[in-house]
Amino acid sequence: MKFNSKLIHGGISEDPTTGAVSMPIYRASTFHQQIVGGTPTWEYSRSGNPTRQALEQLVADLEQGIAGFAFASGSAAIHATLSMYSAGDHLVVGNDVYGGTFRLINKVMKRFGLEFTVVDMQDLAAVESAIQTNTVAIYFETPTNPLLQIADIAAIAAIAKKHQVQTIVDNTFATPYNQNPLVLGADVVVHSATKYLGGHSDLVAGLAITNDEKIAEELAFLQNSIGSVLGPDDSWLLQRGIKTLGARMRVHHENTATLVKLLKQDARVAKIYYPGDPDFAGYQVAKKQMNHFGAMISFELAAGLDPKKFIDGLTMISLAESLGGIESLIEIPAIMTHGAIPREIRLENGIQDELIRLSVGIEDEADLVADVTNGLNNL
């Protein structure tokens, strides 16, 4: 089955007992066991729930893994994944990971004795030389947030295999529609399904998917032991959102191409960050490993122009954190999503005060063009 059909018919797409074409929401916490000491399929909903399982099999199919696990948030999925490791283990981590992931690593996992080295994942030599005798995994995102830097998944996974360490990729920005890290050699894919997979800004959820039997067993154990599972209502809502991922992404991409063109030719925009722009540093690698380049754009205004004025000029696009929903969202990383990073470090990492991040929605292209023009004309 091709990807767009899998979105709708993959995993368990209908109720096996009634044929209902939408998987029912099984709210039961526990299940009647027919005999003492049997091996029932369903026992208790933390350990397994039919609605959650339908979603988990679907996402395993979409990422071409053997098992998927649904969590209460992307952060919970990342926490459970990092819980595979033990005190004294070392991980190499991308220097441009999601702020919450950075916080989880530095303020939580370090307390339990995990060690981390932060590296620019575009620099393969630096990645390899960061590997120590106690390294167990390499963890990164591609494209990154907000600079949309591209890491070469196949090349990094090859380095990892050579040193017998695992590769974990946060595939939130690309989505399985655009990129399948497991196929490129990664061992685990994590997602904040809060973003494109849910797609409607009405849900917080996370996923971990693997193609390795042993890791699958470990993640099942951790999901049940830690207990940060996704509830049946949200599992259903996420499965519903995923069904339209293909239709949504096609419009996201169309609108993004138009806006990239508009921004690129305007003198008030100094620099544009978009993996699909042939002038962008990561373009060649992105072209090699992604089916399409996604719908996140970052851009810098020309020196002296105030990003707040740009945003004040908008009438339709909403000022908000988060991304990946049907509605276009815009933000200034320096004072919003990345405001907690000290200014010197932020500038060192390439995040200028003038940087604007735009999550392009699926509104009418003409309205988006008009609104971005409003913003530019307000400068």
Ligand X SMILES: *Cc1c(COP(=O)(O)O)cnc(C)c1O
Nearer to ligand X, 145 or 166 (CB): 145
Contact positions vs ligand X (CB under 6 A): 73-75, 98, 100-101, 141, 145, 170, 172-173, 192, 194-195, 204, 206
CA separation, residue 312 to residues 114, 293, 348, 374, 378 (Å): 44, 28, 28, 9, 8
Nearest-approach distance from CB 328 to ligand X, in angstroms: 16
- Could you give the CA distance from residue 351 to residue 348 in angstroms, rounded to a whole number? 7
Instruction: For the CB of residue 156, give the shortest distance to ligand X in the complex, in Å.
Output: 17
Which of the residues 46, 240, 243, 264 is marked catalytic? 46
Query: Who contacts 30 (Cβ-Cβ below 8 Å, separation ≥6)?
Result: 43, 44, 45
Whole-number minimum distance, CB 29 to ligand X, in Å?
24
**Residue 78 C-beta: closest distance to ligand X, Å:** 6
Given the residues 85, 89, 96, 98, select the one marked as catalytic.
98
Task: Name every residue whose Cβ is closer than 8 Å to that of residue 225 and which is 6 or more positions away in sequence.
Answer: none
* 195 tagged catalytic: yes
Nearer to ligand X, 74 or 199 (CB): 74
Q: Between 301 and 329, whose beta carbon lies closer to ligand X? A: 329
Q: Residue 241 is which amino acid?
A: G
Taking every pair of Cα atoms in the chain, the longest distance, rounded to a whole number of angstroms, is: 74
Of 6, 52, 195, 248, which residue is the catalytic one? 195
- Active-site pick, 96, 152, 170, 371: 170
Cβ distance to ligand X smaller for residue 82 or 376: 82
Determine how β-strand 296-301 pairs with β-strand 115-119: unpaired
Residue 169: CB minimum distance to ligand X, A: 10
Tell me whether strands 166-170 and 135-141 are parallel, antiparallel or unpaired.
parallel
Q: Which amino acid is at 1?
A: M
309 is catalytic: no
In whole angstroms, give the CA distance from residue 50 to residue 229: 13
Using DSSP, how many helices (H) and how many strands (E) does the chain show?
14, 12
Active site residue 46: yes
Is 13 or 144 the residue whose CB approaches ligand X more closely?
144
- Residues annotated catalytic, as ranges: 46, 98, 170, 195
